Amino acid sequence: MHVLIINGSPRVKQFSNTDKILAGFTQGMCENGTTFEQYEVSDRKQWDDIRRAYYANSNILIALPLYVECIPGLLMEFLETLSPRNDGARIAYILQSGFAEGIQLRCGEAYLEKLTGYLGCEYAGTLVKGDNFSIRFFEGEQRERITGPYTEMGREYAAGAGFDTDKCRAFTGFEVMPAYLRLILGIVFRTVGRTMFRKIAQSWGCTKPLDYRPYQ
Amino acid sequence: MVLIVNTTSDTSITGRIKEAAGKDAGLDVVEAAGLKISHCIGCNFCWLKTPGECSIKDDYEIILRKIVHADQLWVISDTALGFLDHKGKNIYDRILPIATMYLKFSGDQMRHVRRYDQITDIGIIYRGEPDREYLERWNSRAALNFGSRSLGVFSADEVKEAVSCMC
């Protein structure tokens, strides 16, 4: 099987969490001979090549971050340039977000199924997973802890059933966090979490409080 | 204040809104079709480097400065693939600076802490034939992210109905 992978993140490849997820995913996907070609929507110079590959391939995987409950504006702009296939091509999706709970991604997931119909393709399911915001801040083992589990999902996808399997559905984790965890995390968010974000901001050269109001 | 951002090239829609709402409605209309508004590039600078300010220096700043004082934001958008077209979606994606990096739980779900006290409810007026049921669901979810509520989704032929929801 050969797979066309479109990274739908508007963030440049170097800093793209979606790209790091795809690196883990494709490692598993290719173990048994599956091959792929990958393009980045963030690079407009690739758009002609992506369109050519889109019409030439029957197994398509679009990976994207959730932007305001749906697909990013830039990916939408690209998709608007495509014509419906109506030839049995299959599209599967990897939908990832910063928020951790599965429920946060369901509205976006619902659109992806509809989108596939508008593109005249067959829906091969969506791999849904949150809690990916910190990928860009980590290296080595810490990053691997987040992206590593996607390798198994790559193996699962290569088996041919897309993402419509029990394993892929379970990969999402909890739909809503249990109350005790929300209580603990709520405290962490107000204390350690804020300190951590302030430290990251300082390392980025930020000189203002993170709740600064420039337009007040 | 009611902020209306028209991303379509059809200025007759805002004309009809003004007419239906009357002079004292407190509308602030931005005709955005001719403005230079990029997509969000996901740099997170508005959260972690220049809090509250977008790193993309384009005409969206005109809108952002108004949103933080608006009781309502209405986005007028063309549609594509059953949804808002990219110009309409970009207006939503670029609202990110009104949230902070800080997190909290609202009900049983994570949310970003709002940067400003002002709560801006959001409505959509569309042209074309979107999946309206989905668009209503989506706008309700989108509003949650801004700690506000959806004002509803109306076609450009339902301007009077939309105006009846404008404060």
pLDDT in tens, B41-58: 999 999 999 999 999 999
Cα separations in angstroms, A206 against A190, A198, B47, B100, B117 = 20, 9, 10, 14, 23
How many CB atoms lie under 10 A from the CB of residue A147?
A: 20
List the CATH code of the domain at B2-163. 3.40.50.360
| Nearest Cα to Cα of residue A80 among B12, B147, B88, B126 | B88
Q: Is the pTM of this model over 0.90?
A: yes
Contacts of B122 in chain A (CB under 8 A): none
Sheet with A90-96, strands from edge to edge, namely: A35-40, A2-7, A59-65, A90-96, A122-129
The answer for A 112-131 residues in CB contact with B (under 8 A) is 114-115, 118-119
User: What pLDDT does A110 receive?
Assistant: 98
pLDDT in tens, B57-83: 999 999 999 999 999 999 999 999 999
Indicate yes or no: CB of A189 within 8 angstroms of CB of B103: yes
Indicate yes or no: CB of A213 within 8 angstroms of CB of B52: yes
User: What pLDDT does B142 receive?
Assistant: 97
Question: How close does chain B come to A68, measured CA to CA in Å?
Answer: 6
Substitution target in B3, B45, B101 with the highest count of A β-carbons within 10 Å is B101
User: What pLDDT does B3 receive?
Assistant: 98
User: What pLDDT does A19 receive?
Assistant: 97
CB contact, 8 Å: A84 with chain B? no
Helix axes A192-203, A179-190, angle to 10 degrees: 50
User: What pLDDT does A109 receive?
Assistant: 98
Q: For chain B, state the CA radius of gyration.
A: 15
> Is-contact B54 B60, C-beta < 8 A?
yes
Question: How close does chain B come to A194, measured CA to CA in Å?
Answer: 6
pLDDT in tens, B120-162: 999 999 999 999 999 999 999 999 999 999 999 999 999 999 9
User: What pLDDT does A189 receive?
Assistant: 97
User: What pLDDT does A216 receive?
Assistant: 86
Contacts of B51 in chain A (CB under 8 A): 201, 206, 208-212, 214
> Is-contact B89 A76, C-beta < 8 A?
yes
Say how far apart CA B167 and CA B157 lie, in whole Å. Answer: 20
Substitution target in B56, B69, B110, B114 with the highest count of A β-carbons within 10 Å is B110
Please name each of the domains of chain A with its CATH number: 2-171 (3.40.50.360), 178-216 (no CATH)
Which amino acid would we find at residue A25? Answer: F
**Burial of A216: CB neighbours in 10 Å, binned 0-12, 13-18, 19+:** exposed
The answer for B 29-88 residues in CB contact with A (under 8 A) is 39-43, 45, 47-53, 64-65, 68, 80-87
Residue of chain A whose Cα is closest to the Cα of B47: A210
Indicate yes or no: CB of B42 within 8 angstroms of CB of A107: no
Confidence of residue B24 (pLDDT cuts 50, 70, 90): confident
H or E segment and range at residue B124: strand B121-126
Indicate yes or no: CB of A111 within 8 angstroms of CB of B65: no
User: What pLDDT does A63 receive?
Assistant: 98
Buried b or exposed e, range A86-96, using 16+ CB within 10 angstroms: eeebbbbbbbb
Q: Which residues touch A179 (CB under 8 Å, ≥6 apart)?
A: B108
User: What pLDDT does B25 receive?
Assistant: 85
Say how far apart CA A200 and CA A164 lie, in whole Å. Answer: 38
Question: How close does chain B come to A40, measured CA to CA in Å?
Answer: 13
pLDDT in tens, A25-66: 999 999 999 999 999 999 999 999 999 999 999 999 999 999
How many CB atoms lie under 10 A from the CB of residue B167?
A: 10
CB-closest option in B43, B48, B52 to A215: B52
The answer for A 5-24 residues in CB contact with B (under 8 A) is 9-12, 15
H or E segment and range at residue B162: helix B159-163
Say how far apart CA B1 and CA B15 lie, in whole Å. Answer: 18
ipTM of the complex: 0.96
Say how far apart CA A129 and CA A70 lie, in whole Å. Answer: 14
Contacts of B130 in chain A (CB under 8 A): none
User: What pLDDT does B92 receive?
Assistant: 98
Low-confidence ranges of chain A (pLDDT < 50): none
Indicate yes or no: CB of A208 within 8 angstroms of CB of B41: no
How many CB atoms lie under 10 A from the CB of residue A151?
A: 18
Substitution target in A80, A103, A131, A210 with the highest count of B β-carbons within 10 Å is A210
User: What pLDDT does A161 receive?
Assistant: 80
Rounded to the nearest 5°, which phi and psi values hold at B83?
-135, -175
**Burial of A74: CB neighbours in 10 Å, binned 0-12, 13-18, 19+:** buried
Triad B82, A108, A92: Cα angle to 5°: 90
What would the two tokens of residue A82 be?
């495509």
The answer for B 6-25 residues in CB contact with A (under 8 A) is none
User: What pLDDT does B124 receive?
Assistant: 98
Say how far apart CA A67 and CA B99 lie, in whole Å. Answer: 14
